[in-house]
Structure 1
């Protein structure tokens, strides 16, 4: 087999969870080029995957068909003569491009109106009894019936930091005397909604505790543009001597990957950045509220999950249906601080 195309998921965390599938395919077909078609916001994940030959970026927009763009991409991909395409999102539109490109084997889960577009498929698991995401994606590799298919238990995603991204971080933030060995990264955002976000007052108190323990420590708040205002509130609540910097929206994802891989430790909500930290084996405390750590845990022996497992959780709601958000409010800064110290001992 000479060419394999991957149509990537649209969320950062999901994209990280696909890396073991890439590793399995590379093991089965070491001579094959594995290319990834990805939206611009998840493309950096695949630039951090050593198995990938080429990342093909596309300016896909949420909930938009973009028929002209998809036809153009299909025309360009047709010339590459891929033998197999793994369509990882479940949507109809994600299956259009490989079908239009006449890729012979189009593999994926059965999704919305995809009969014929996908010609080698698995049933989607029920939402009640879902396997871990890594296993969900990895199962698709077995449809090729290769004798070399990966059978390892509990595979974990692994990402690499590019030298270019690392240099960019060091150059870009030289003006704040960036010292990776004394830098804690906090990720206060979560795309899903408030029920995944640890309170800003808790983040601020934790920052104060970290600087009290280590006066040379720096705190960097990391996330997207949508998290910038949230991070500003954390900075306002923290002590002025906490050496806290709001970099939300001021880094590319390539730079964020490098920064997470270089820092001392990460404190995050259940988010894409949490999965990046796990894939880079950076020590981290992952804070869960409404979501289920059994389904989307940080897959790293250097990660500790804090989850209260209340009777009302996981509810998977964007806003707390009971109005109290105890699943996050009751995870106190002292508990996170103590857990973080155990990771560094």
Structure 2
């Protein structure tokens, strides 16, 4: 069986889509899986053992480009795929497998896609978790009718595989032997997902104050570099030399490998949150406008930090009230207490470590 997966355009959603790939390989061990994804997502596809090949989606996110979709569909006819799984909800995302004449085209009901999809699921509310929605597509409609019917729900698991960790660290001027705290303060979705920079800085100071071999690594895209520099500045002169702003300086593959080296990652609900979970890091995930029910990190041991305000979750990009109290009410001192309660070694000072 040869399978084409039309990937989502968001990094986090693509990481969660690995649950579908794992399910497909368990149900059809002989399957060959190709993933069509945007350029910024191909690094993630390369770290999925189930994907034999990543194919560049040359048409930009938000662009219709009917002729380009027709051309790509015709090119993909040469691959002779047996089935396509279309993960985005848009009408246009289903055009390429239709133009490629893939006999079976599977997906969820989204925009009007009747005819473009010929195996369609319509009951999203019965699958509240996104990885369950993705995984369900691999099963027959009559066998899996709700999330509880899934015989197994695999978590994503990305390969973290620097050829030589020392070479990777040297690339960014990092010495071996440090214990890094990873911070992911960005969120492409919007500011209603972003915990305040001063809160991140407060936690970084607490972490760095305990032992001199601890560092703080700040991850993200180029858009997050300014936020990273703000956090670094707020840690004060005493700690700034141990705070590295890597945002905008790494490839996504570099970030995957560096996140896998962190002793703990603190992240907004973002693509890097899902990457951190998928490489098995200890993870504290801060949720603002979004829900821990729909897109929690795919890791049983993650610390989920969210507000109990009545307006949460609102799923808005920008707080309708003008002040995202669902985030500002999550004070760093309280979060630190929860962190060291869950992972006591984080609160161990150098003196205690020497004496123990």
TM-score normalised by L of structure 2: 0.89
C-alpha distance after superposition, 1:40-74 (max 9, x if no partner): 11222221111111111223312101334323322
Give the distance between the partners of 1:324 and 1:30, measured in 2 at CA: 50
Contact 1:282 1:302 in 2 (8 A): no
**Cα distance, 1:5 vs structure 2:** 0.6
Is residue 121–residue 141 contact of structure 2 (8 Å, CA) maintained in 1? no
Shift of 1:289: 1.4
User: For residue 298 of structure 1, what is the aligned residue in structure 2?
Assistant: 297
* Residue in 2 that maps onto 1:56: 55
C-alpha change, 1:45 and 1:28, in structure 2 (3 Å) is: same
The answer as to whether partners of 1:210 and 1:337 remain within 8 angstroms in 2 is: no
Tell me, yes or no, if the aligned pair for 1:111 and 1:124 is still in contact at 8 Å.
no
SS of aligned partner of 1:97 = helix
Unaligned runs of 5+ in 1: none
- In the alignment, the residues of structure 2 paired with residue 302 and residue 221 of structure 1 have an alpha-carbon distance, to the nearest angstrom, of 22
Could you tell me how far apart the structure 2 residues matched to 1:59 and 1:37 are? 10
Q: Residues 3-49 of structure 1, C-alpha deviation per residue, up to 9 Å, x if partnerless? A: 11100011111111111211111112111211101111122222111
Q: Equivalences for 1:99-138 in 2 at 5 Å?
A: 99-123=98-122, 125=124, 131-138=128-135
Aligned counterparts of 2:327 and 2:150: Cα–Cα separation in 1:
37
Alignment match, 2:189: 192
Q: Distance in 1 between matches of 2:312 and 2:296?
A: 15
Where does residue 36 of structure 1 map in the other structure?
Answer: 35
1:199-238 equivalences under 5 Å are: 199-238=196-235
Q: Which residue of 1 aligns with 2:343?
A: 343
TM-score (norm 1): 0.91
SS in 1 for 2:89: coil
Kept in 1: contact 2:166–2:176 (CA 8 A): no
CA distance in 1, matches of 2:142, 2:100: 23
Contact 2:205 2:235 in 1 (8 A): yes
Distance 2:48 2:320 in 1: 39
Whether the 8 Å contact between 1:28 and 1:146 is mirrored in structure 2 is no
SS in 2 for 1:16: helix
Cα distance in 1, alignment partners of residues 165 and 104 from structure 2: 38
Q: Is the 8 A contact 2:19 2:153 kept in 1?
A: no
Structure 2 residue runs without a partner (length 5+)? 346-356
Per-residue deviation at 1:299?
Answer: 1.9
Secondary structure of the corresponding residue to residue 181 of structure 2:
strand
